[in-house]
Amino acid sequence: MNMTADPRDRGGPAQPLLLVNDLRKHFPVRGGLLGRQIATVQAVDDVSFSVRKGETLGIVGESGCGKSTTARLLMRLIEPDAGDVVFDGDPVGDRHGLSVNAMRRQMQMVFQDSYSSLNPRMTMAESVAYAPRMHGLPAKEALSRAEDLLAQVGLNPRQYARRYPHELSGGQRQRVNVARALALEPRLVILDEAVSALDKSIEAQVLNLLAELKARFNLTYLFISHDLNVVEYVSDRVLVMYLGRVVETGPVEAIYARPRHPYTRALFASKPTLDPDRRTKEMPLTGDPPNPINPPSGCRFRTRCAFAQAICAELVPPLAAPLDGADDSGAHLVACHLPHAQQVLHA
């Protein structure tokens, strides 16, 4: 990857662009007449990972696993309870590091709902120009940058710059959201289910666009999705989350070909086969993911895990190399106590 030319680079290609350590967010649940706290949603619980320069890190998991909360914590749209975020060597929100505002210039986000992400009373060009103007660019320059960006995302500015959100299709609006995310020339873009609401034929167009822009602007992506196929297609490395914790992480090939965590295996086995002659015969998991309010002790997956033993209820399994020693490169990590539960099953 061509990282040498970027003058914004500080620590060199070996230094992760983003380091996340023990990020935590627990939401209080209030109830009763007095509005006292009656429970806690452990939305994100001690999540750590890194994002390398120029890569795409995919985060997969089902609803309630904390993947979107993680994104919002990174952007400081919500305040974390604990944990550190380090952007290219600079601690974010630290007196000696990067202010939240400065971080947001380098890190931008695209959301799932293309419509509610845009101000309905602003034209496309105004929406894209808004952030550069707020960050001090003169109005005229901001507007010409916006038109240039609209062209970059495949929307002819002559045709689209003066349109309002309701005049565009979902795919076109999402292109505008991508343009807007790029307006401050960020280095990291968080894509939170950014293609999930689009029809398949449009989704493929936007995925191609994202790949093009990544190369053209030297971007790093954090790609959050529930769609296992899309994550496999776009990611270099993958993080699998379950009920607020990371259960497995590693290079995309390893995770998809040799998933180690019983949850990851069940998740992949739930994927429709696309082959009418090899239909799924048995359900890999029963029931829904449990409620993140007061999740199970120890390993959070144990209540649905076929291998669970006493230790799983007692101790939180640390994220570590697979126990059979087959992969000690440190790249592939799994949070599971039991060696036999980590066995790779060859179908």
What is the pattern of x (binds another protein, CB under 8 A) and - over residues 23-62?
---------------------------------------x
CA dihedral sign of residues 148, 152, 153, 158: positive
Cα 109–Cα 289–Cα 194 angle in degrees, nearest 5: 20
What DSSP letter does each residue of 171-213 carry, written as one string? HHHHHHHHHHHHTT--SEEEEESTTTTS-HHHHHHHHHHHHHH
217 contacts another protein (rule: CB under 8 A): no
4 contacts another protein (rule: CB under 8 A): no
- Which residue type sits at 238? V
163 contacts another protein (rule: CB under 8 A): no
203 contacts another protein (rule: CB under 8 A): yes
Question: Which is nearer to another protein, 199 or 324 (by Cβ)?
Answer: 199
**What's the gap between Cα 297 and its chain centre?**
25
297 contacts another protein (rule: CB under 8 A): no
Residues 170-189 interacting with another protein (rule: CB under 8 A) = 170-172
CB of 62 to another protein, least distance (A): 4
200 contacts another protein (rule: CB under 8 A): yes
Residue spans of beta strands (DSSP E) within the chain: 18-31, 36-51, 56-60, 82-87, 90-91, 107-110, 188-192, 220-225, 237-242, 245-251, 333-334
Applying CB under 8 A, the span of 84-92, 112-120, 271-279, 331-339 interacting with another protein comes to: 271-279
Question: Which is nearer to another protein, 4 or 277 (by Cβ)?
Answer: 277
Question: Which is nearer to another protein, 125 or 267 (by Cβ)?
Answer: 267
Residues 233-262 interacting with another protein (rule: CB under 8 A) = 233, 252, 256
Q: Residue 318 burial by CB count (10 A; 0-12/13-18/19+): exposed, middle or buried?
A: exposed
Applying CB under 8 A, the span of 137-145, 228-236, 312-320, 325-333 interacting with another protein comes to: 228-236
Assigned token pair, 8? 């914004």
2 contacts another protein (rule: CB under 8 A): no
Contact status, residue 120 vs residue 202, Cβ threshold 8 Å: no
Applying CB under 8 A, the span of 20-28, 136-144, 155-163, 205-213 interacting with another protein comes to: 205-213
3 state SS of 277? helix
3 state SS of 342? helix
CB of 335 to another protein, least distance (A): 18
289 contacts another protein (rule: CB under 8 A): yes
Cα separation, 226 vs 280, whole angstroms: 19
CB of 277 to another protein, least distance (A): 7
> Which of 267, 299, 308, 341 touches another protein by CB under 8 A?
267
270 contacts another protein (rule: CB under 8 A): yes
DSSP percent split of the chain into helix, strand, coil, nearest 5: 30, 20, 45
Question: Which is nearer to another protein, 135 or 271 (by Cβ)?
Answer: 271
Cα separation, 263 vs 65, whole angstroms: 12
Number of residues that bind another protein (CB under 8 A): 46
156 contacts another protein (rule: CB under 8 A): no
213 contacts another protein (rule: CB under 8 A): no
> Which of 229, 313, 324, 340 touches another protein by CB under 8 A?
229
284 contacts another protein (rule: CB under 8 A): yes
| Nearest residue to 262 via CA among 280, 233, 240 | 240
End-to-end CA distance of the chain: 35
Residue with tokens 């994104």: 71
- Which residue type sits at 20? V
Site of interaction with another protein (CB under 8 A): 62-63, 169-172, 199-205, 207-208, 211, 226-230, 232-233, 252, 256, 266-267, 270-277, 279-280, 282-289, 291
